[in-house]
Amino acid sequence: MSARPKVLVVLGTRPEAVKLAPVVRALRAAGDAAVRVCATAQHREMLDLMLADFGLRPDVDLDLMRAGQDLNAFAARAFERLGRVLRRERPDLVVVQGDTTTALIGALAAFHERVPVAHVEAGLRTGDFANPFPEELNRTLIDEAAVLRFAPTPRAARNLGPGRRGQSVLVVGNTVLDALCWALARRRPVRDPRLRRALAAAAPGDPVVLATAHRRESFGPALRGLYRAFGRLVDAHPRLHLLVPVHLNPEVRSAARALGRRPRVHVLPPLGYLDAAAALSRARFVMTDSGGLQEEAAFLGKPALVLRKVTERPEGVRAGVALVAGVDERRVFALASRLLDDAALYRRMARPVSVYGDGRAAERIARAIRVRLGLARTLPRAFRPNSP
């Protein structure tokens, strides 16, 4: 091992940038390891938006995104290029996050080069490789390759089991809440002009709902039905304003056309993280198939309707602050209407809970990495949620 150990952080998508920026910041603040960031740019525009908000500049930018790319073609390009990066950089540890193709290929390429892997957000499971697709298989394989497995919750740690020789598990919380705390503390005015106009259009007493839907397993009729449900909800509630950031994927953009040009439906581009935090802060509740948004909503006391058949984040459901709504148009419309009309149900669900983290996950991860590299002696205390 070199006198100053090197950590290579591999990322390529919006959520990876959000959830790894606090880790990069914490490792660099310690000052005793060389931290390098490698971007695959799996999602070029959305990644750049996040990196700019966090003031994070890749040391290596592979710029691999291609128009109309499929996962296999992207994975092949990433595998070959990341192999070259690893042989040139010769890191002592590779850090990946979550369950993207970038994370999977980063972990496998590191494994082939005999470089230890740390997995941030380890242990999430639905038990169904089709939901979410392909993420459920990706994260399972990454956890097999990783030697450091940073589970966000005790349940995620239990999913991992004892592991093989040389693997370790530490419950740290989810780093998305570190990012959220950082963003809210900055109190920066909203920058996106469309979001600014949307927030100004809603009177102080008007309900505002944040809605996102983009999962690959929902592409086709189910996704179009979700967007129709969003439109029906606005039609049925004359004061409701709907904030709908739309993913750049052509399938999602096509489905979003079902919203039409309703005056209180605010179709938005992908938002920078600081603007996204502002939108969440104003929302009465969220409807989403995003994993990170489920965690952020629970932390801020915003009820969540989960637009999936099953969630790998059941802690919010068990705590009573989230409901799995599925992807059926009628059911989603009915549950969202209940949350708007049933004050007692809303009060029961609108409670901040720290089941996913406390804003200190990156600090724990950085400490554990430094122990692995021989730069610190004692591991941090594990995160303990405040409710089941």
Domain for residue 381, yes or no? no
Domain for residue 385, yes or no? no
**Cα–Cα distance, 212 to 314 (Å, whole number):** 19
Q: What is the CATH number of the domain that holds 41?
A: 3.40.50.2000
Tallying the residues shown for the chain, one arrives at 388
Domain for residue 184, yes or no? no
Q: Are 99 and 138 in contact (CB under 8 A)?
A: yes
DSSP states along 241-310: EEEEE--SSHHHHHHGGGGTT-TTEEEEPPPPHHHHHHHHHH-SEEEE--HHHHHHHHHHT--EEE-SSS
**Cα–Cα distance, 340 to 218 (Å, whole number):** 25
318 and 344 assigned to the same domain: yes
12 and 152 assigned to the same domain: yes
15 and 144 assigned to the same domain: yes
Domain for residue 384, yes or no? no
Domain for residue 1, yes or no? no
The answer, as to whether pTM is greater than 0.75, is yes
* Helix/strand/coil percentages in the chain, nearest 5: 45, 15, 40
pLDDT at site 121: 98
Taking only the tens place, the pLDDT of each residue in 257-313 is 989 889 999 999 999 999 999 999 999 999 999 999 999 999 999 999 999 999 999
16 and 86 assigned to the same domain: yes
**Cα–Cα distance, 77 to 86 (Å, whole number):** 14
Q: Which residue has the tokens 């998305």?
A: 176
pLDDT at site 1: 44
Q: Which residue type does 184 have?
A: L
Domain for residue 183, yes or no? no
pLDDT along the chain (388 residues), means of 10: 85 97 98 98 92 96 90 95 98 98 98 98 97 96 98 97 91 98 93 96 96 94 96 97 93 91 93 96 97 97 97 97 97 98 97 97 98 97 83
342 and 362 assigned to the same domain: no
268 and 148 assigned to the same domain: no
Catalytic residues: 99, 121, 135, 214, 216, 247
105 and 12 assigned to the same domain: yes
160 and 70 assigned to the same domain: yes
| Burial annotation 194-220 (CB, 10 A radius, 16+ → b, else e) | bbeebbeebeeeebbbbbbbbbebbbe
Nearest residue to 321 via CA among 290, 291, 289, 355? 355
**Cα–Cα distance, 14 to 293 (Å, whole number):** 12
pLDDT at site 296: 98
If one counts the domains in the chain, the total is: 2
Sign (positive/negative) of CA torsion 283, 284, 290, 293?
positive
139 and 92 assigned to the same domain: yes
59 and 93 assigned to the same domain: yes
Q: Which residue has the tokens 């589970």?
A: 151
DSSP states along 292-340: HHHHHHHHHT--EEE-SSS-S-THHHHTTSEEE--S-HHHHHHHHHHHH
147 and 200 assigned to the same domain: no
Q: Give the residue numbers spanning the domain of 67.
A: 6-174+357-372
Kindly list the distances between the CA atom of residue 18 and the CA atoms of 24, 220, 386, in Å, as whole numbers in the listed order.
Answer: 11, 28, 24
55 and 83 assigned to the same domain: yes
Domain for residue 246, yes or no? yes
Strand order in the sheet with 285-288: 265-268, 241-245, 208-212, 285-288, 304-306, 322-324
Domain for residue 382, yes or no? no
